[in-house]
Structure 1
Amino acid sequence: MQRISWVVLTALLASRFAWCQDARPAPLSREPAIESIGTAAISVKPDYVAFRLEKRITGSTMKEAVAEAVRFEPNLKEALVLKELTLSRIEFSGIVAPDIEVLEVCVTARVRFSAVPFGESEKGPRLFAELCDDVRGLAAEMGCRVTGPFFDVENRGPHEKHVIGEAVRNAFSAGEAAASVMDAELIGVDSVDVLDVDWRGNNDPERREPDFRSVECEARVKVTYAFEAL
């Protein structure tokens, strides 16, 4: 429709949004409104792949267990160098003692590697498999339990704004159809509610086949339109 207020729509998308809050300009109409749900999904190349290493340590005393846990960080860094594994980031948790009666402590590390080579080269699958083997071997040597891989992007913001915009656009056709049934036309956007934004990687149980070359971002919005009779 030519009369739809795309200026208002653009302002809504450009403004700062918060989950499940209205991106609401001044009300365009106090008349009954039309609500439409819009969804969209995009595929994004992951920037990195992460693995989580967890080590549980017991001792004859809590002091002994903690002393060994303190050595976990330098020992892991040294092992990574020896295996010539190039990290993009490594994060260590604090030492956790779940139960004082058990004399056991737990320490974890999250190691990140660039995922770019896996998607840009024909050798990507082999390189990814080699990395998985190296991380599994490292975990075994360190006496750790390993989980992963987990794929993600460094900066989610631009991708989320893009997919929200697509979801808003997709909501328009349903709103327009509803107005047509009532012999009316849409005249503007009253509000946009961001219902949810989800990231789905190959660690998502709903995806049966792992895909190290992409992660998905999905958005669902509710758009409220003002309308008037023709």
Structure 2
Amino acid sequence: MSTKDEKAKEVMDEGTAHAKGGRDTGAGGFIILFFIIGFAASMVLGWVVFPQLLYSQKQQPFNFNHALHVEEVDEGCESCHFFRDDGSFSGIPKLAQCTDCHEEPMGDTEDEEIFVEQYVTRDREVPWLSYSRQPDCVFFSHAAHVIGAKMDCVSCHGHIGESESSRPYEYNRVTGYSRDIWGKNIAGFKKNSWDRMKMDDCAQCHKEAGIVHTSSVQTERDACFVCHK
């Protein structure tokens, strides 16, 4: 092969190499673009679509005006949510508590009419949906927190006492538990103490209150069996 032919071959080889390099660059760009599109799609599905599918909503039997009741009663929240003589917490009021004031309609609202006609006159308990119902394995003592630790209701329940209507009850389709326990933010971020009621939130509050692990041994008040039965 002549010198001229060898130079021509070298030029062709260099051109082929550059062409291959160009194709490799193009393929790499396509892979990066595909990754970005896939990542964006997964974020939308995981953060927007999935929560919509995972959680469902139910409406309360009728709207309850907390603000009106707090204004009218003497002892605020404790008028309806009180501690019994044995120290146990009454929780959501039973019909008997309500009929002390509502044997006859008080006002002319649609919700009052529903309450009296469908529940009071029929002597039926109102099937309220509890926003704060914990898993069955969890035990929570209101007395320990309200009486012992002097916590206010807002710390866990937010400003529900100022609400004038009942918001929808959101629950997990798989577990059946309220979304208020896990929180609205799927990433786990929260701004307020009442944004969620997970074990991590309880542990953080206990730590701030001085109820913490001592070395490798748990203090009696922070033992697992205190909250998990």
**TM-score category (smaller protein):** under 0.3
Higher CA-based Rg: 2
Looking at secondary structure, tell me which structure has more strand per residue: 1
Report the TM-score, using the length of structure 2 for normalisation.
0.20
Scaled by the length of structure 1, what TM-score is found? Answer: 0.20
Name the structure with the higher helix share: 2
